Chain A
C-alpha cells in the first residue's frame, strides 16, 4: 500500500464540484489550470467525469438543496478518493455563516473531508500548496 500511495501522489486527477458557491473560488480553480500555473508538472489534471477523479475540489456553502447531490457525487466516485474544501465557505461559512439555508458548515457534516484551503477566494498558489500538502501526509 505504501508503494501505491507513493504513486498516487504523483498522479492526481481533480474534479471540480461547485456546491452553491458565489463563483469566486470557481474562477480561481479555472485560473489554476491555465498555462501560467501549469499544474501538469505535478501530475494534476482536471477531469470532467467524477468516475475518473482522485480528488474532489468542493467550493461554496453547501445548502439544503445541494447537500444530497454532493453525497451522491461522493458515492459515485471511485475510491480511494480525497476531498478538499476550497474557500472559507466550506470551512466556516464566511459571509454566509448566518444563512438560514446552510446544511454543510463545515463540509464534513455532509461528506468526509481531508483538507481545507481557506481564503476568500484562496489564490491558485495556495490551492496547489494545499493539494500537495494533503498528499504529503499520505504514507
Chain B
C-alpha cells in the first residue's frame, strides 16, 4: 500500500512529474526564446509562476455552478498524475501497474472533458468558444491517436499492455524500424502536438485570439492546477511515444540511460521546433488535417502492420 502511494505521490507520479514537467516547460520557453533571438526566462521561472499562483485569490462567479468550476481542474490534475504514474512506472521500472493502453486513452479523454466542463460552467463567452474548440479538437485528434496506438499493439501480437509491447521490442527490434512504425511515429508526434495544445493546434487556448479560452476565468490555485497539469503532459506524452515506438529506456549501462534520455529530449525538442516554426491553424483546417491526412496515413500504417511490414 505504502509502496503504491510512493509511486503515485513521489517518484513517477506527482512530485517527480511536476518538478520535471516545470523544468521541461523551461526548456520549451528557452528554446522558443533562442529561436526568436531572445535571452529567455531564468531557470526557475515556471516554479516562480506556479508558486505565485498558489498565493493569489480564487474568484468564483455568482449564479454559476461553481462546484464544477472548482472540481474540474482537480479531476484533470488527478488524471494527469495517474497517467504519469502508469507511463513512468513502465518507463523507469519496466513494470506495469494499474492499467494498460486503453486506460491511458480513457484518462486522456477525461482530461479534455474536465477542461470542457470547467470552461462551460463559467458562462463566459470566450470560455464557451474555447470549450467548443476543445471539443472539436478532441473529435479531430482522437481517431488519429487511437490508430497510431493500434500499430504497436498489432505488431506486438495484439497486446495492449505497455510492458508486453516493451518485451516485444527488446526481442524483435524497435517498432520505429519498420515501415508502419515510422509512419505511425510521425503521425503520433502531430497528435501529441494537438493533445497538448501546442502551437499549430493550440486553437482551444489561442492566447492572442480568445485569450486562453477555457482558462480565462480561472485564477489563483485553480489556474496553478491547470498550468501544472499542462506541464506534466510534457513528461509523460513523449515518454509514452518512446515506450510505444522506440524501445523505452533501460538501466543496463550508462550509455543506455543516456540513450533513453536522448530519445525523450529529441521528441521534446522536435515538438518545440514544430511549435516555433508553424502558425496557428484555423479549427476547420485542423479537422481537415486530421481527418483527411493524418488519420488515413495512420490507417495505412495499421494496414501495413497487419500485413507485417
Q: Which residues does A use to contact B, with CB under 8 Å?
A: 4, 7-8, 10-11, 35, 38, 40-41, 43, 47-49, 51-52, 54, 76, 78-80
Contacts and interface: CB of A to CB of B under 8 A. Distances in A.
8 contacts: A8-B55, A40-B29, A40-B38, A41-B40, A43-B45, A49-B211, A51-B223, A78-B59
A54 to B, nearest CB: 7
Listed residue (B219, B220, B223) with the most chain A CB atoms within 10 angstroms of its CB: B219
Contacts of B59: 51, 76, 78
A41 B212 contact: no
Contacts of B39: 38, 40-41
B48 interface: yes
Nearest to A51: B219
B33 interface: yes
Interface residues of B, number: 31
Contact of A79 (B36, B44, B56): B56
Interface in B24-41: 29, 33, 36-41
B52 A54 contact: yes
B41 A43 contact: yes
Contacts of A43: 41-42, 45, 48-49
A52 B219 contact: yes
B220 A40 contact: no
B45 to A, nearest CB: 6
Contacts of B36: 35
A104 to B, nearest CB: 24
Interface of B: 29, 33, 36-42, 44-45, 48-49, 51-52, 55-59, 207-208, 211-212, 215-220, 223
Nearest to A54: B52
Given A35-B36, A49-B216, A78-B219, A8 B42 contact: no
Chain B contact residues: helix, strand, loop or mixed: loop
Contacts of B207: 48
A48 B213 CA distance: 10
A11 B53 CA distance: 9
B212 A52 contact: yes
B109 to A, nearest CB: 26
Contacts of B58: 78
Q: Top 3 A-B pairs ranked by shortest CB distance?
A: A48-B211, A11-B48, A78-B219
A80 B220 CA distance: 10
Given A40-B33, A51-B219, A11 B57 contact: no
Nearest to A9: B48
A79 B55 CA distance: 9
Contacts of A52: 212, 215, 218-219, 223
Listed residue (A38, A40, A48, A51) with the most chain B CB atoms within 10 angstroms of its CB: A51
Contacts of A79: 56-57
Contacts of B216: 48-49, 51
